[in-house]
Structure 1
Amino acid sequence: MATQVLREAQPDTDAPKDTGGLDRSEGKTTGEVIALARKFVEDNYLGVDGFRGAHLVGSINHTEHSRPFPTYRDVDIAIVLDRVDYQEIEEVFHEGYVLECILSGAKRYASAEEILALPGMACNLEIDSVLVDPEGHLTQIQRRVSADFAKRLWVRKRVDAGLESARGALVAVQQAGSPIEAVHALGELIMHCSEILTVAHLNPPTHRRSLADLRPLMETEEELQLYEELLAAFGSSQITEPEARRFLDQCLEAFDRALEVKRRPVPFEWKLDPCIRDYLEKGTLEMIEEGNHRESLFWITLFFVISTAAIQQDGTAADKQAFGTRMVEFLDALGVGSEAAIAQRIQDCGGLIGRIQDYSDRFIATSPKLRD
């Protein structure tokens, strides 16, 4: 199982003194943040036994270097180490930014072919994202991934991997012991369905903005229908903007209370940290103010579920009653508040996965974006 640690990075004595945490009025450009990430890796990992290199992960790879990088967003860095079996996560607050250090086992980078087949990894090495590469191995893999990224063979493998994950998540929904467990698994299912459609179009899948970034890719009548079915399968298709804002407020209250009462581990507990609060609030408002209020429910749900789990475990009786009632209302709004509703959603999602597979098969075979 992955481990998660939050720590404060050691100050860089040669750098200007940081003066404002996550709410600094003057943020860095994306290029400056990339330089910050590179220096952090060099200072903390270069020369460490078993360190094989590091590269950027996520949307920062596809952001113009001159654009400001908001301080509420985290910076994802894959750090390749021999000592790690699969993956561990460390959240580090450094010079006003949260660095999510994804400590990845070196075996995962054995070849370009292994990377090319994985939807969550190929997109991160399709462009030059390498930060530090003491042996040149990551650079060699990155060049090969970039050269073959758009080939139908590899797009097919990445889509198939996404379909397998979506089906696994559907089984988790079926086996859930409660509505809150069901909605958590449902979120995983929707994320993988969005990932399938995104990688078919050669775009990088994301987490927070998975649905918001998918929408512009859906242009044909069939694609738009699939997109609406995806929102309906999650339960957010009929959520209004005022409702989304209200649920965000309730989620923030649950998050703050969870920080106060949490004593024991809960799933995804590394998300429960004060330095993540801005990312939750401002990252959600960013989507709502773009008109993506329905899509923002994916991010809200993740934190609402994690926070409520911590409260139900360690909160007072009054906390459990108050926040439990809110979660029931939230689940009802998503249409998964009863066993009957969940059973119907499972049936709907099974059909949706089949339609996404049919669509992706035809798209991969005929799209001029892809090549043989």
Structure 2
Amino acid sequence: MRVGTARAAAVRWVAAHARSVPGYRGAYFSGSTVGRADDAELAASSDVDVVVVTEDEDPPVKPGKLRYGGALLEISYVPWAELRDAETVLSSYHLAGSFRVDTVIDDPTGGLRALYADLSPRFAEREWVRRRCLDARRRVEGRLAAFDGTAPFHEQVPAWMFPTGVTTHVLLVAALRNPTVRLRYPAAREVLTAYGRPRLYRELLELLGCADVSAEVVRHHVGEMTRTFDATVPVARTPFFFSSDLTERARPIAVDGSRELIDRGEHREAVFWIVATLARCHTVLAVDDPALHTARLPAFEAAVADLTGITGTADILERREEVIRFLPGLWAVAEDILAANPDIT
């Protein structure tokens, strides 16, 4: 499917399902399709992110992934209060990128287009880019500081891994690149190669623990992840913010997308989402099917050990300190990218 075709399906979904909801203020595109040409090919392992803006300061749980008009859409909500101030959005690395170009789908109040008109000319100004890099760095620091070593192991792993992965976002933001979620490591490698710092990429992988993992090992564990994923989907009932990532509709991303990375030689880059998916499955299973959670737990623990080198809380705490020590050097590289990036004004 072409990106433009998928976007058109998203526009129809907004007209049919979002406009009539009380408090609706508009919708816009976000994520990996922002800035891509309409005639670009959209991989089966990619979706189109649509953000619905609402007056409700406490929006309902996001619908998540759904099929509409043949396209895989990822629907989420954002309160208008988070977008009201342009400088707040400019400083937010996960919000600002959507308004670098015109991504507005629908804007009955005019607020989104006014935000775009205000933000877009300033998006690449050095002051705001640096603030967004700092926003990403603070997310690493804040989430690692909040790590709870008393939580179950399947909750500890993502609590360490996701902020560790945000180290890539510091670099992507400095390069004015989309801070993607699932493909953050391949994107960071491209940035570091383009700016003459490829050696730092190995350090990022070492923090994750997968710098020397073999394709054979990763392929084995993606098979185990697939079995856990397929066992989780039919029993999942309790809503989590990531629930739409654990559905049959999301299988092309969680399972097929990981296999695609391995097949093209990016097995180390596949580790992040394999482990994240496994951890999320066990978060669901621990609540909705404890017996299945227990039965599949050895496969999860083996995957975490083989792919990241983590075998328990002590390892995570040690790795957390390694990430914290790494941050000053990471920031220096981000500053170098800021200085060298010709698109920053």
Instruction: Output the CA distance in 2 between the equivalents of 1:324 and 1:371.
Output: 47
**Counterpart in 1 of 2:40?**
67
2:106 maps to 1:100:
no
**Counterpart in 1 of 2:50?**
77
SS state at 2:40 partner: coil
CA contact (8 A) 1:89 1:102 kept: yes
2:229 maps to 1:229:
no
Cα distance 1:176–1:229, how it changes in 2: closer, same or farther (>3 A)? farther
Cα distance 1:207–1:371, how it changes in 2: closer, same or farther (>3 A)? closer
Counting matched residue pairs gives 343
CA contact (8 A) 2:100 2:119 kept: yes
TM-aligned CA deviation for residue 220 of structure 1: 7.2
Instruction: Output the CA distance in 1 between the equivalents of 2:241 and 2:95.
Output: 23
SS state at 1:350 partner: helix
Instruction: Output the CA distance in 2 between the equivalents of 1:78 and 1:269.
Output: 17
**Counterpart in 1 of 2:163?**
189
Query: Mean Cα displacement is larger for which, 304-313 or 49-58?
Result: 304-313
2:142 maps to 1:168:
yes
Match of 1:212 among 186, 206, 211: 186
CA contact (8 A) 1:86 1:104 kept: yes
Query: Mean Cα displacement is larger for which, 224-233 or 294-303?
Result: 224-233
**Counterpart in 1 of 2:23?**
50
Alignment of 1:198-347 (within 5 A): 198-219=172-193, 223-265=197-239, 268-315=242-289, 317=291, 319-333=292-306, 334-347=308-321
TM-aligned CA deviation for residue 107 of structure 1: 1.0
1:166-207, CA deviations, whole angstroms, 9 ceiling, x for partnerless residues?
A: 001212346453443332112211232111110001111101
Query: Mean Cα displacement is larger for which, 180-189 or 111-120?
Result: 180-189
Alignment of 1:121-160 (within 5 A): 121-160=95-134
CA contact (8 A) 1:55 1:129 kept: yes
Instruction: Output the CA distance in 2 between the equivalents of 1:71 and 1:176.
Output: 39
Instruction: Output the CA distance in 2 between the equivalents of 1:195 and 1:257.
Output: 32
CA contact (8 A) 2:55 2:81 kept: yes
1:307-340, CA deviations, whole angstroms, 9 ceiling, x for partnerless residues?
A: 12333444364x3444111112112111110343
Query: Mean Cα displacement is larger for which, 229-238 or 61-70?
Result: 61-70
Instruction: Output the CA distance in 1 between the equivalents of 2:132 and 2:300.
Output: 35
* Structure 2: gaps of 5 or more residues: none
Cα distance 1:343–1:368, how it changes in 2: closer, same or farther (>3 A)? closer
Instruction: Output the CA distance in 1 between the equivalents of 2:102 and 2:87.
Output: 17
Cα distance 1:368–1:297, how it changes in 2: closer, same or farther (>3 A)? closer
Instruction: Output the CA distance in 2 between the equivalents of 1:96 and 1:208.
Output: 22
1:135-161, CA deviations, whole angstroms, 9 ceiling, x for partnerless residues?
A: 322122113322111111101110111
SS state at 2:197 partner: helix
Instruction: Output the CA distance in 2 between the equivalents of 1:282 and 1:238.
Output: 23
Instruction: Output the CA distance in 1 between the equivalents of 2:116 and 2:261.
Output: 31
Instruction: Output the CA distance in 1 between the equivalents of 2:59 and 2:153.
Output: 30
CA contact (8 A) 1:87 1:105 kept: no
The one-letter code sitting in structure 2 at the alignment partner of 1:52 is R
SS state at 2:193 partner: coil
The one-letter code sitting in structure 2 at the alignment partner of 1:225 is R
Instruction: Output the CA distance in 1 between the equivalents of 2:344 and 2:38.
Output: 29
TM-aligned CA deviation for residue 208 of structure 1: 0.9
Cα distance 1:183–1:225, how it changes in 2: closer, same or farther (>3 A)? farther
TM norm structure 2: 0.91
TM-aligned CA deviation for residue 49 of structure 1: 4.3
TM norm structure 1: 0.85
SS state at 1:113 partner: helix
RMSD: 2.3
CA contact (8 A) 2:154 2:282 kept: no
TM-aligned CA deviation for residue 41 of structure 1: 0.8
Instruction: Output the CA distance in 2 between the equivalents of 1:54 and 1:245.
Output: 39
The one-letter code sitting in structure 1 at the alignment partner of 2:269 is E
1:321-371, CA deviations, whole angstroms, 9 ceiling, x for partnerless residues?
A: 44111112112111110343223212211111222123223443x224254
CA contact (8 A) 2:161 2:208 kept: yes
